[in-house]
Amino acid sequence: MTPNTRPMRSLRSRLVTTILLCWVVPVGLIVALAGFLLRHSYENNMTRRLETDAAYTLQQFETHLNTAFTDSKAVSYDGVVRGAYRAWQQDGDKAALYRSVNDYLAQSFGREERYKAVFISFWNEVGIYPYVMSSGISGYSLPRNYHRSTEPVILDAMREADTAIRFFAIDGDLYIARNLLDNRFQPYASVVQLVDGDTLLETLEAMPGNARLSLDGLTLDSGGLCEADRTAAENYAFHFAGDLPDHTLTLDASLPPFDIFRDLPELQTAILAVVLLVLPLLGVMILLFRKHVTKPVEVLVDATAHLQDGERGYQIEASPRSREFQRIYRHFNTMSSELKSQFERSILEQQTLQQARIKALQSQINPHFLNNTLEVINWEARLSGDERVSAMIEALSVMLNAALDRDGRGQIPLREELSYVDAYLYIIRERLGERLVIEREIDETMLDEPVPRLILQPLAENAVEHDLTARHGGLMCLRARREGGFVVLEVEHEGTLSDEDLRQAQALLCSVLNEKEPSGQVGIRNVKQRLDLLYGDKGSLSLLQAGPDRILACVRFPSAK
């Protein structure tokens, strides 16, 4: 790679300078300052408008209520209803009472748009229900519902009211009630005014944001409902008090949410103009970033991918224009070359060491089982004829060929490994006879699977020498299968491991081979060390109590297929 002799600026200083000058500083300051000023101006203007609207709304509401108070007083002061009621007490003429009261209500309230209806509710069981409805209201459902459900509630509450005015919120409507007194100042009826919510709250609905009126514990919101208070006053930012004698009138309000584009539509045009001016600068910044950062990083990522794929010694040929990436590329090339050299040396050393250790470990098996086998043959030769001895010698020959490894193969097909196990078990069955039962659970598709030489026979020998011989026979099961890309070989036999046996087995599988260890332990440890050398962490050997009177030895290593 030809070095770039041109003087280079620092990549960091170039990018920071470009970003600050072209985008971050001016745009950030403009946006922050504009947002602050616009919100401040909006809040001031809306607060002044809200205060003005609140004062006007309270004034209009008080005017409506005072007019309603005056109208209800007029019913009492005019004396028309009281006179008609006194006449009924004398002559009992209900029809005359109804005509007189209804005519009076029609003349007094028939053209008043501020009321939906006005009712005269007599306290005694008179049996008539005078009322008048606004010209815009028709039908009989309103008076029928009033006399059926609303009138009992109002009359029950008005028993303690004397001449005071009471407000009622029933089924979303606002009722104003005042008692009518006779000459003895005893209540004989109540005048009930059903207020038109649209007329009463028209100024409230025009207020900005959320607003509600509270009248003697009742809440009238901008939706026109008249119900019990259901929203805490703390949810509103502004609170105003009305001037209504003998009654509590308050107005709670909050500003509408600030929507900059809704309240300042011209701002959209201004922002669009700024964006069109800044976009070229942003494009320049993006091009510079891609040229001086993105592309060099892509080259570096591609080089690491080649290295990860096994191309040790891969060299970056590109010549970046920044000082930082030039140094990174140079360091990468040096590291890649050194890694290739070290890896090649390490492979050669590891292969030499591994072959030597495997040969040494495999050679340890020869005397381990040869002495036991010769002892069995010698014992059998003294007790039987030449035919059985010949068969045993043939089996011994198979085992010797496996142990000597004359062809130097570290791995053999599973079927060949099973032949070594069969040869060994043939000799053992000559000793134990029919008392030794052998079962096989071998996946036939695995017979050509490469496995380490003498990986299964030492496990079978360990089971025989440590458990089955002492029991004068028993059941042994040989298994071979694949599990998720791994080969699993198992030898399960009858026997029991005590806690001490399990502890020693774990220590045996974890410790380093000691040449002075008893020969009975060499086979298991030899298998474990060969698995470690060949497969590392992916190979394992376990010895455990698989169930009642069952000991399981399991070998697991990656499949070659």
Q: What is the pLDDT of residue 376?
A: 66
Task: Summarize pLDDT for 348-407 with one digit per residue, the tens.
Answer: 656 645 664 665 555 555 555 565 665 566 556 656 665 666 667 667 666 766 666 656
Q: How far apart are CA 413 and CA 398, in angstroms?
A: 15
Assess contact for 559 and 443: CB atoms under 8 A.
no
Q: How far apart are alpha carbons 528 and 536 in whole angstroms?
A: 10
According to the model, what pLDDT value does residue 370 have?
60
Q: Around 282, how many Cα atoms within 13 Å sit in the side-chain half-sphere? A: 11
pTM of the model: 0.45
Whole-number Å distance between alpha carbons of 137 and 121: 20
CA 234, 236, 239, 243 torsion: positive or negative? negative
What does the longest C-alpha to C-alpha distance in the chain come to? 149
Fold adopted by 45-254: Beta-Lactamase (3.30.450)
CB count in 10 Å sphere of residue 260: 15
CATH topology of domain 346-558: Heat Shock Protein 90 (3.30.565)
Of the candidate ranges 227-236, 288-297, 490-499, the one whose mean pLDDT is the lowest: 227-236
In sequence order, which residues have a C-beta less than 8 Å from that of residue 335 and are 6 or more positions away?
none
CA distance 339 to 472: 58
Percent of the chain with pLDDT over 70: 79
Amino acid 525: pLDDT: 83
237 by DSSP, 3-state: which? coil
**376 CB contacts (<8 Å, ≥6 apart)?**
392, 427, 428, 430, 431
In whole angstroms, give the CA distance from residue 211 to residue 50.
Answer: 10
pLDDT, position 211: 81
Q: What gap in Å lies between CA 139 and CA 276, rounded to an integer?
A: 64
* Mean pLDDT over each residue of the chain, to the nearest integer: 79
For residue 453, the surrounding DSSP H or E stretch is none
Domain borders along the chain are: 45-254, 346-558
Q: Which of 157, 162, 151, 161 is nearest to 128 (CA)?
A: 151
C-beta atoms surrounding 440 within 10 Å: 12
Banded model confidence at residue 47, pLDDT cuts 50, 70, 90: confident
Distance CA 425, CA 413 (A): 19
> Which residues 6+ apart lie within 8 Å of 399 measured at CB?
369, 373, 420, 423, 424, 457
CA atoms of 527 and 422, how far apart (whole Å): 18
Antiparallel, parallel or unpaired: β 436-442 and 474-483:
parallel
User: Model confidence at 283, in pLDDT bands (50, 70, 90)?
Assistant: confident
Judge whether 260 and 268 are in contact, CB under 8 Å.
no
Please compute the mean of the pLDDT values over residues 507-513 and round it to a whole number: 62
Check the CA dihedral 375-376-382-385 and report its sign.
Answer: negative
pLDDT digit string, tens, across residues 215-245: 877 887 755 555 555 556 667 778 888 888 8
Coil, strand, or helix at residue 29? helix
CA atoms within 13 A on the CB side of 543: 26
Give, rounded to a whole angstrom, the gap between the first and last alpha carbons of the chain: 43
> Confidence class of residue 1 from pLDDT cuts 50, 70 and 90?
very low
- Please report how the helices 295-308 and 323-383 are oriented relative to each other, as an axis angle in degrees rounded to 10: 10
Where in 145-276 does DSSP place strands (E)? 166-170, 173-181, 187-195, 210-215, 218-221, 226-228, 238-241, 249-254
| Of 34-48, 212-226, 302-316, highest mean pLDDT | 302-316
CB atoms within 10 A of CB 387: 8
Is residue 494 within 8 Å of 467, Cβ to Cβ? Answer: yes
| Residue 3 reports pLDDT greater than 70 | no
Write down the pLDDT at residue 517.
47
Is the distance from CB of 232 to CB of 214 less than 8 angstroms? Answer: no
The alpha carbons of the chain give a radius of gyration, in whole angstroms, of: 52
**Contact indicator for 94, 70 with CB cutoff of 8 Å:** no
Using alpha carbons, list the distances in angstroms from residue 487 to 117, 273, 405, 446, 555.
93, 70, 23, 9, 8
Taking the CB of residue 452, how many other CB atoms lie within 10 A of it?
22
What digits encode the pLDDT tens for the residues 85-113? 999 989 988 899 899 999 998 898 878 88
Alpha carbons 208 and 351: distance in angstroms, whole number: 85
Q: Express as a percent the part of the chain with pLDDT over 90.
A: 12
Give CA–CA dist 57/67, Å, rounded. Answer: 15
The band of 487, judged by pLDDT with boundaries at 50, 70 and 90, is very high
Answer whether 116's CB lies under 8 Å from 89's CB.
Answer: no
Instruction: Give the C-alpha separation, 323 to 335, whole Å.
Output: 18
* Alpha carbon distance 478, 152 (integer Å): 94
Distance between CA atoms of residues 146 and 117, nearest Å: 10
